[in-house]
Amino acid sequence: MDQNYKQLIELLLPAGILDYFELTNSTKNAKGISIYLEEKNIIPEEYKDQLLHSKGFLPETSIEDFPIRGHKVALRIKRRRWVVQPTGQIVTRNWTLVIEGTRMTTEFGLFLKGIFG
């Protein structure tokens, strides 16, 4: 992604979100703007010592964000899931641990906590 483009996108999204999510698409229609984000394939810290294999995504979640220039904004977020080899257990990132264990901004921490609990 071009650096100038990335800086502009970072101004429109909650601070720190592009550390964990990739912008995949955006659309604009009469209802507003939809911004599509997919969780990056970064192994969760609590599973770093286990063999994980990406197993796709959970169903998309839609979150209303701050309007941009008078247009409603919906963040369409797809969280990743992994399978633990060889147990077959399906796991996802624990956002509570991310919030407590990183130096992310308060805005991004509250954003994640509001979305994923």
Two tokens at 85?
């080899």
Give residue 114's pLDDT: 59
* Phi, psi dihedral angles at 55 (to 5 degrees): -125, 35
Give residue 90's pLDDT: 94
Give residue 106's pLDDT: 55
Give residue 104's pLDDT: 47
DSSP letter for 3, please: H
Domain borders along the chain are 3-116
Burial (CB < 10 A; 0-12, 13-18, 19+), residue 58, is middle
**Rounded Cα distance, 52 and 81, in Å:** 10
Tell me the pLDDT of the chain (117 aa) as tens digits.
678 877 888 888 887 888 889 999 999 999 999 999 999 999 988 888 999 999 999 999 888 888 888 999 988 989 999 999 989 999 998 766 454 544 445 555 566 665 555
**Rounded Cα distance, 93 and 112, in Å:** 11
Q: Does residue 20 sit in helix, strand or coil? A: coil
The pTM (predicted TM-score) of the whole model is 0.77
